[in-house]
Structure 1
Amino acid sequence: MHINFVKLSKDKPTIGKDTQTKNTTFGQWVELGASNLIDNCTIGDYDYTGQYCFMQNSDLKKFISMAAMIRIGPTNHPYDRAAQHIFSYNGGAYGFGHPDTEFLEHRKHVRTTVGNDVWIGHGVIIQAGVTIGDGAVIGSGAVVTHDVEPFTIVGGIPAKPIKDRFPDEIKTDLEKIAWWDWSREDLEKYYLDFRLPIEEFVKKHQVKE
């Protein structure tokens, strides 16, 4: 949630108070809210988060709108073993040696992917390994356990499709237009077009075969 809009930086992420990042790369015009924890992620151009968002081992594309208290890519414990507690595979804090590097490395490679122009509501959990398609909407409080198709609105526990944002032909045209990959110059040139009805926007920017 924005209380006071700040002037964002093109080349340096705007990072809120008490937010921590590790092994993470950032695109341009990125804003992270307060008290975020971001580990082993890629954050794309124009992405922003609210407060208390935790992300691990995730790849976020461009123009993603994230509310507060979102969890993306939470790691799993080895529930198929005798002990699933962290002491059994990474117990340095408890005085145990020999971290299970193979298990820890495997978790890093279970990537969660969030597509372009996705809107993620308050309190959403997106499980590790899930892919969210371009233009999707994740309703507040949803727990996403399976892939979400592009331009689909989902919600609930577990999250299920509620409706499509647009007819199939509009979705296809938007994927071809891929406005999220436009240059900054084109975004500025056509900025007001984003306020047009979707049919007019697609007609104006339709990619010719």
Structure 2
Amino acid sequence: MHIDFVKLSKDKPTIGKSTQTKNTTFGEWVEIGSSNLIDNSTIGDYTYTGQYCFIQNSDLKKFISMAAMIRIGPTNHPYDRAAQHISFYNGGAYGFGHPDTAFLEHRKTIRTTIGNDVWIGHGVIIQAGVTVGNGAVIGSGAVVTKDVAPYTIVGGVPAKPIKDRFPDEIKTDLQKIAWWDWSREDLEKYYLDFRLPIEEFVDKHLPQ
């Protein structure tokens, strides 16, 4: 939630208080809310998060809008073993040795991908390994356990499709336009076009 809009920076992310990041790269014009934890991830241009978001082993593309208290890519415990507790696979804090590096490294390879121009509502959980397509909407409180198709609105526990944002032809055309990859100059040039009815936007910008 934005209370006071701050002037963002093209060159470095604007990061809120008490946020911690590790092994993470950021694009341009990125805003990260307060009290976030982000690890082993990439955050694309113009993406922003709300407060108390936790992101692991994930690739977030461009123009993603995230509310507060969102969890993306949570890691799993080894529930097929005799003990699930962290002390038995990464027990340094408990005075144990021999971390299970193979298990820990494997968890990092299970990537979660969030497409361009996705809107993620308050309190959403998106499980590890899921892909959310471009232009999707994830309703507040949803638990996403399966891939979400582009331009689909989903909600619930587990999340299920509610409706499509646009007809199939419009969805296909928007993917071809891929405005999220436009240069800053083109974004400024066509800025007001984003307020046009969707059919007019597509007619104007669909590659010939």
| TM over 0.5, shorter chain | yes
Matches within 5 A, 1:109-128: 109-128=109-128
SS of 2:89's equivalent in the other structure is: helix
SS class of match (1:90): coil
- Counterpart position of 2:106: 106
Taking the aligned partners of 2:186 and 2:124, their CA distance within structure 1 comes to: 32
Q: Which residue does the alignment assign to 2:31?
A: 31
Please give the per-residue CA displacement for 1:102-153, whole angstroms capped at 9, x wherever unaligned.
0000000000000000000000000000000000000000000000000000
CA shift for structure 1 position 207:
1.2
- % identical aligned pairs: 88
Q: Distance between the aligned counterparts of 1:207 and 1:74, measured in 2?
A: 39
Amino acid at match of 1:75: T
SS class of match (1:169)? helix
Q: How does 1:75-154 map to 2 (within 5 A)?
A: 75-154=75-154
- Report the residue type matching 1:88 in the other structure: F
Aligned partners of 1:146, 1:158: CA distance in 2, in Å?
A: 9
Aligned-pair CA distance for 1:86:
0.1
Flag structure 2 segments of 5+ consecutive residues without an equivalent: none
Rounded to whole Å, the distance in 2 between the matches of 1:85 and 1:207 is 54
Which amino acid counterpart does residue 70 of structure 1 have in structure 2? I
**Aligned equivalents of 2:4 and 2:16: distance in 1?**
12
The amino acid of 1:120's aligned partner reads I
Distance 2:87 2:206 in 1: 55
Instruction: Give the paired residue count.
Output: 208
Q: Measure, in 1, the Cα distance between the counterparts of 2:114 and 2:171.
A: 17
Matched letter for residue 193 of structure 2:
D
* SS of residue in 2 equivalent to 1:38: strand
Give the residue type in structure 2 aligned to 1:174: L
Query: What is the CA-CA distance between 1:201 and the residue it aligns to?
Result: 0.3
Give, in whole Å, the separation in 2 of the partners of 1:207 and 1:91.
55
TM-score normalized by structure 2? 1.00
Matched residue type, 1:16: G
Shift of 1:53: 0.1
Please give the per-residue CA displacement for 1:147-203, whole angstroms capped at 9, x wherever unaligned: 000000000000000000000000000000000000000000000000001000000
Corresponding residue of 2:16: 16
Counterpart-to-counterpart distance in 1, 2:199 and 2:73: 35
One-letter code aligned to 2:141: G
Q: Segments of 4+ in structure 1 off by > 2 A?
A: none
Task: For 1:3-82, list aligned pairs within 5 A.
Answer: 3-82=3-82
Q: Distance in 2 between matches of 1:62 and 1:102?
A: 32
What is the SS of the residue equivalent to 1:5?
coil
CA RMSD of aligned residues (A): 0.2
Give the match for residue 163 of structure 1.
Answer: 163
Structure 1 residues not aligned, in runs of 5+? none
* TM-aligned CA deviation for residue 31 of structure 1: 0.1
Q: Which secondary structure does the structure 2 equivalent of 1:204 belong to?
A: helix
Partners of 1:17 and 1:197 in 2: CA distance: 39
Q: Which letter maps to 1:186?
A: D
Q: Shift of residue 26 of structure 1?
A: 0.3
